[in-house]
């Protein structure tokens, strides 16, 4: 088979096959790669033809690539499902046929029907044995073979009926869960208007080429990522940025799929054709959701594998002591692995699907598990707990200066810079009708500290206390009483100095999100042990904000590069850490945390690296995310307990001859069905 490398970093490689392959090939590849020493994890997805390998060292990588290079694809057993496509619902006619039609048929017909129905399961059993696997396929095949040898064709027919129905149910529920998840992410546009060779035409989305110009008119969604080549429109980009006001987009501007044209008309040249289409992004998202297994899922799957040899051993002991083939066959038909393997991934998929419906996108099962274990929540202050729209609250002049002159000169310096504080200062001057003509020399901007320039031959400085007092040696003690008062109120302070003397203070307020305090109270009520706020503000300002929010722990004057170190320190203490931030500089900390969470209106990079995205634009969704993780894990543990208890009871019944093979199979499959249906129920109450 021919594979193309999609992504490769040390210890992790993803490849995609040029030819389609089916489930049997996927199982073979997964087993062969997993057997390579040094390979830590494998995920093979026949739906997309992808293979993910996690390895330690160059030798395991080379051996894995050699296996892939020499593999031959087996026929595709069934059409590869496409997200959004239909999933065939398992029907009840086979049960009707078994109960009402089979008794009326000649014995020879029923024998032939039973044997033909058993062949696929015996073939799967043989394939597992050839690949040196002792799994549930071998268990099912052995039970069928024993029944055939006993000429118990009625039991054979019932077994194949139940096993076939179980397979169909598994495929159906799994596909529907994935389809529902994908449908929430998909931009449901099947046909688009394009201008091609000067003519307008309506074509299917998949027929678009890079030379087409997609026509988007007022009131319609933009179906592609692209660049405007003609026209002008007001575009609502709230789905991408959270900003509710329309933005002007004209020739040369970039536009994004899912945003909406409010007024005007634009012609867009697509930039996301082929492998970067929306559908391919959905396929890759589904790949990620399937590979991001929760640790509990992996543990249950390993337990399921270990249960199969136990069942075989117990069946052999029953036969040795009783010489009763019927009892031994009954034991074979009761195993723990089916429910353990099916219920956990179904619960995780159902939880992720429920999360999307509740405006919480969780990017994998392992993050649901991490959410359930969170005991420490770390917030970045600016833009997360606050609205990230600083305003000028007070202008305090020093002796000999006027309030208007302090603000005018500060605005004159800040107008050259695009950051939010600068915009707030300039806006405040405009609101007071203070004209600030440029009378200063070239401005020097010291990153994260302040501004230096010359005005009317005098050296002026504007910036933080650290910059003014420590770096530049300006005595700010004359303003100390005002500093203490403003800091207690949670204001951030800008200091203005002229010729080495403090000239005034501008107090900035970053309004808190209205839901911030209630959120902190709910987190403590949920049993979160530590709620920590990180901020670059000085300690007094940080303490004032923390007091307003009811936060007991905070770290002040934290530089962006220090946030990840704070997270690492908390994890080293044994904490399970959730980090909530929205800026580019929060991305390292989001990656370092056990669960990185951002808001829908966070920076693109933050949304990319975060494990959970709160899509509702409110911090209250964080409570939903944690409750969802806890609910899914409770459901998984309940399913585990039900599986162990009921199947143990059935096993005891088989051991003492109380259950015949057919009844054992019925009870076992009903248990599996019940556990799976329980796994798919909502994890949170309505309105919770």
Sketch the domain layout of the chain as residue ranges.
3-70, 191-280, 391-509
Task: Catalogue the E-assigned strands of 423-572.
Answer: 444-446, 450-455, 458-463, 492-498, 501-509, 530-534, 553-555
Q: Is the per-residue pLDDT at 377 higher than 90?
A: yes
| Higher per-residue pLDDT: 346 or 622 | 622
Query: Phi and psi dihedrals of 637, rounded to 5?
Result: -65, -35
Residues serving a catalytic function are: 380
Q: Give percent of the chain above pLDDT 70.
A: 76
In angstroms, rounded to a whole number, what is the distance separating the alpha carbons of residues 492 and 277? 45
pLDDT class of 604 with cuts at 50, 70, 90: low
In angstroms, rounded to a whole number, what is the distance separating the alpha carbons of residues 280 and 187? 12
pLDDT class of 625 with cuts at 50, 70, 90: very high
| Average pLDDT over all residues of the chain | 78
- Among 4-8, 287-291, 329-333, 609-613, the least confident range: 287-291
Same fold, 3-70 and 191-280: no
pLDDT class of 48 with cuts at 50, 70, 90: low
| Higher per-residue pLDDT: 346 or 7 | 346
Mean local confidence (pLDDT), 632-655? 83
In angstroms, rounded to a whole number, what is the distance separating the alpha carbons of residues 563 and 380? 9
| Higher per-residue pLDDT: 152 or 292 | 152
> pLDDT tens digits for 126-172?
988 888 877 777 877 887 888 888 788 877 887 787 677 656 655 65
What is the model's pTM? 0.56
> pLDDT tens digits for 355-373?
888 889 887 778 888 899 9
In angstroms, rounded to a whole number, what is the distance separating the alpha carbons of residues 614 and 628? 13
Mean local confidence (pLDDT), 396-404? 91
Structure tokens at 291: 């590979």
Contact present, 222 and 235 (Cβ < 8 Å): yes
Query: Phi and psi dihedrals of 122, rounded to 5?
Result: -65, -35
pLDDT class of 293 with cuts at 50, 70, 90: very low
Contact present, 366 and 294 (Cβ < 8 Å): yes
pLDDT at position 243 is: 45
Q: In the beta sheet, which residues pair with residue 55? A: 39
Q: Is the per-residue pLDDT at 480 higher than 50?
A: yes
In angstroms, rounded to a whole number, what is the distance separating the alpha carbons of residues 449 and 472? 11
In angstroms, rounded to a whole number, what is the distance separating the alpha carbons of residues 121 and 147? 13
The CATH fold of domain 191-280: 2.70.150
Q: Is the per-residue pLDDT at 277 higher than 50?
A: no
CATH class of 391-509: alpha beta
> pLDDT tens digits for 302-323?
666 677 788 788 888 888 888 8
Mean local confidence (pLDDT), 241-246? 47
pLDDT class of 283 with cuts at 50, 70, 90: very low
Structure tokens at 443: 């401005």
625 vs 357, 363, 385, 520, 583, CA distance in Å? 12, 12, 17, 14, 20
| Higher per-residue pLDDT: 259 or 261 | 261
Task: Name the strands in the sheet holding 612-614, side by side, starting at the edge strand that comes first in the sequence.
Answer: 360-362, 612-614, 595-599, 577-580, 376-380, 530-534, 553-555
Q: Is the per-residue pLDDT at 20 higher than 50?
A: yes
- Among 35-39, 182-186, 267-271, 597-601, the least confident range: 182-186
pLDDT at position 495 is: 93
The CATH fold of domain 3-70: Alpha-Beta Plaits (3.30.70)
């Amino acid at each position: 088979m021919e594979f193309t490398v999609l992504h490769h970093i040390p210890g992790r490689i993803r490849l995609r096959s040029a030819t389609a392959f089916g489930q049997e090939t996927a199982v073979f590849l997964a087993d062969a790669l997993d057997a390579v020493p040094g390979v830590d994890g494998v995920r093979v997805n026949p739906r997309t033809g992808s293979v993910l390998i996690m390895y330690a060292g160059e030798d395991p990588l080379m051996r894995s690539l050699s296996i892939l290079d020499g593999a031959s694809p087996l026929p595709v057993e069934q059409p590869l499902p496409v997200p959004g496509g239909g999933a065939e619902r398992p029907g009840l006619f086979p049960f009707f046929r078994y109960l009402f039609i089979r008794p009326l048929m000649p014995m020879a017909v029923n024998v032939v029907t039973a044997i033909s129905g058993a062949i696929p399961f015996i073939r799967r059993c043989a394939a597992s044995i050839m690949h040196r696997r002792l799994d549930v396929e071998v268990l099912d095949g052995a039970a069928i073979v024993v029944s055939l040898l006993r000429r118990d064709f009625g039991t054979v027919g019932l077994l194949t009926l139940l096993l076939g129905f179980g397979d169909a149910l598994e495929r159906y529920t799994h596909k529907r869960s994935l389809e529902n998840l994908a449908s929430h992410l998909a931009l449901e546009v099947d046909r688009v208007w394009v201008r091609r060779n000067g003519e307008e035409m309506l074509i299917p989305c998949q027929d678009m080429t890079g030379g087409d110009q997609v026509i988007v008119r007022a009131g319609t969604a933009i179906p592609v990522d692209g660049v405007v080549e003609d026209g002008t429109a007001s575009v609502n980009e709230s789905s991408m940025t959270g900003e509710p006001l329309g933005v002007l987009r004209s020739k040369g501007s970039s536009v994004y799929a899912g945003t909406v044209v409010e007024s005007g008309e634009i012609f867009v040249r697509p930039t996301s054709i082929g492998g970067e289409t929306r559908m391919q992004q959905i396929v890759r998202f589904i790949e990620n959701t399937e590979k991001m297994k929760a640790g509990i899922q992996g543990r249950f799957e390993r337990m399921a594998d270990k249960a199969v040899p136990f069942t075989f051993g117990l069946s052999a002991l029953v036969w040795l002591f009783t010489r009763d083939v019927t009892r031994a066959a009954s034991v074979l038909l009761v195993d723990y692995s089916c429910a353990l393997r099916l219920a956990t991934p179904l619960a995780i998929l159902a939880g992720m699907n429920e999360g999307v419906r509740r405006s919480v996108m969780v990017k994998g099962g392992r993050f649901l598990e991490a959410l359930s274990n969170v005991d420490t929540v770390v917030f970045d202050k600016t833009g997360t707990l606050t609205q990230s729209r600083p305003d000028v609250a007070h202008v305090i002049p020093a002796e000999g200066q006027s309030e208007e002159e302090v603000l005018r000169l500060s605005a004159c310096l800040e107008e050259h810079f695009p950051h939010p504080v600068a915009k707030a200062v300039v806006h405040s001057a405009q609101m007071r009708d203070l004209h600030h003509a440029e009378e200063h020399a070239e401005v020097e901007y010291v990153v994260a500290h302040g501004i230096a320039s010359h005005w009317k031959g005098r050296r002026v400085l504007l910036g933080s206390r650290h910059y003014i007092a420590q770096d530049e040696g300006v005595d700010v003690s004359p303003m100390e009483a005002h500093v203490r008062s403003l800091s207690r109120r949670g204001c951030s302070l800008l200091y203005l100095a002229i010729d080495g003397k403090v000239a005034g203070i501008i107090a900035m307020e970053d309004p808190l999100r209205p839901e911030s305090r209630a959120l902190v109270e709910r987190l403590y009520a949920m049993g979160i042990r530590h709620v920590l706020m990180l901020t670059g503000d000085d300690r007094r300002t940080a303490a004032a904000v923390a007091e307003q929010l009811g936060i007991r722990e905070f770290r002040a004057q934290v530089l962006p590069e220090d946030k990840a170190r704070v997270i690492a320190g908390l994890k080293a203490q044994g904490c399970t850490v959730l980090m909530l931030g929205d800026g580019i500089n929060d991305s390292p900390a989001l990656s370092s945390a056990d669960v990185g969470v951002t808001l829908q209106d966070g920076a693109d990079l933050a949304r990319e690296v975060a494990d959970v995205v709160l899509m509702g634009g409110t911090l209250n969704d964080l409570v939903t995310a944690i409750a969802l993780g806890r609910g899914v894990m409770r459901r998984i543990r309940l399913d585990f307990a039900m599986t162990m208890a009921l199947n143990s009871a059935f096993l005891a019944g088989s051991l003492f001859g109380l259950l015949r093979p057919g009844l054992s199979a019925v009870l076992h499959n009903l248990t599996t069905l019940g556990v799976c249906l329980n796994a798919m129920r909502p994890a949170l109450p309505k309105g919770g």
